[in-house]
């Protein structure tokens, strides 16, 4: 066997070994398949983009029922925005067993009696709407007895802190298809013929962006380039036969 033919055979063996290794990597074991990053359309545990959400008018007769300054924080890991308060301490201890939301509700509605009741969510139906559309009623609503009252021109402004607890059922979201957005987690307030919503947008894992490189064709192009190079290498080596 000539040295040139030996060289050709050695190179061909290396190319075949590399292609075999690539195929083995693509297949992978069951554990490797489970460890692969999530992909578009897959359902994964819900992760919020942030923990604080403003209140937004959704629909109904009274868009000024609640003030836009109203906010709600999703308490996680025992945190709370209130310090040294007995009710806040109770809420902090319940985050292991419940989804706990600390809401600061403000109303300066023109009808002062309605504003007073609305700030305490009296006459308001509260629902947690999961990204998959599941509606969860609250397990407990804790209204701080201390109310802040102030004048706003000819109106009276009322603000209360309210802790809303929901059963800690798993919250899931679907990784959106191309052109779609993550569905948020919504805390819906329905009352007085009006609907307001606190919304927490979902945050997809960083692995999703990498996994979607294949969806965009980047990985397929790389693999096609590899196959083309391998074919051209074999054709080049045939010239030395």
Same domain, 159 and 218: no
Instruction: Count Cβ atoms below 10 Å from residue 218 Cβ, excluding itself.
Output: 11
Residue 17, in any domain of the structure: no
**In which domain, by residue range, is 191 found?**
46-200
Residue-wise pLDDT for 123-159, tens only, equals 999 999 999 899 999 999 999 999 999 999 999 999 9
Q: pLDDT digit string (tens) for 64-81?
A: 999 999 999 999 865 455
Q: Per-residue pLDDT tens for 165-189?
A: 999 999 988 887 776 777 899 999 9
Mean pLDDT across the chain, nearest whole number? 79
Specify whether 128 is located in the same domain as 99: yes
Question: Is the domain of 89 the same as that of 103?
Answer: yes
Total domain count, the chain: 2
Based on the fold, state whether residues 76 and 187 are members of the same structural domain: yes
Asked if residue 146 belongs to a domain, the reply is yes
Residues 149 and 210 reside in one and the same domain: no
Which one, of 234, 185, 182, 235, lies nearest residue 205 by Cα?
Answer: 182
Span of 17-26, 102-111, 214-223 with lowest mean pLDDT = 17-26
Residues 175 and 236 in one domain: no
**14 in a structural domain:** no
Same domain, 215 and 194: no
Query: Are 63 and 190 contacting, i.e. CB atoms less than 8 angstroms apart?
Result: no
Q: Are residues 128 and 230 in the same domain?
A: no
Return d(Cα 198, Cα 189) in angstroms, integer: 8
Considering the domain architecture, whether residues 233 and 134 belong to the same structural domain is answered as no
Residues 196 and 210 in one domain: no
Confidence of residue 44 (pLDDT cuts 50, 70, 90): confident
- Phi and psi dihedrals of 146, rounded to 5? -80, 125
Q: Is the pLDDT of residue 16 over 70?
A: no
Question: What confidence tier does 11 reach under pLDDT thresholds 50, 70, 90?
Answer: very low
The verdict on 144 and 83 lying in the same domain is: yes
Q: Is the pTM of this model over 0.85?
A: no
């Amino acid at each position: 066997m000539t040295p040139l033919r030996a060289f050709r055979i050695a190179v061909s063996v290396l190319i075949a070994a590399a292609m075999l290794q690539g195929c083995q990597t693509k297949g992978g074991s069951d554990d490797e398949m489970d460890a692969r990053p999530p992909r578009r359309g897959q359902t994964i545990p819900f992760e919020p983009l942030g923990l604080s959400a403003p209140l937004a008018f959704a629909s109904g007769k009274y868009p000024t029922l609640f003030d836009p300054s109203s906010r709600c924080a999703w308490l996680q890991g025992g945190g709370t925005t209130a310090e040294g308060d007995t009710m806040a301490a109770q809420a902090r201890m319940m985050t292991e067993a419940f989804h706990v939301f600390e809401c600061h509700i403000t109303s300066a509605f023109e009808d002062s009696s309605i504003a007073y009741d609305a700030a305490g969510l009296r006459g308001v139906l509260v629902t947690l709407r999961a990204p998959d559309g599941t509606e969860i009623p609250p397990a407990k609503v804790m209204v701080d007895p201390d109310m802040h009252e102030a004048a706003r021109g000819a109106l009276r402004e009322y603000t209360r802190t309210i802790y809303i607890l929901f059963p800690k059922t798993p919250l899931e979201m679907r990784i959106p298809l191309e052109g779609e957005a993550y569905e948020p987690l919504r805390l819906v307030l329905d009352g007085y013929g009006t609907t307001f919503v606190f919304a927490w947008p979902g945050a997809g894992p960083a692995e999703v962006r990498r996994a979607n490189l294949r969806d965009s064709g980047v990985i397929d192009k790389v693999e096609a380039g590899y196959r083309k190079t391998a074919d051209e290498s074999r054709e080049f080596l045939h010239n030395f036969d």
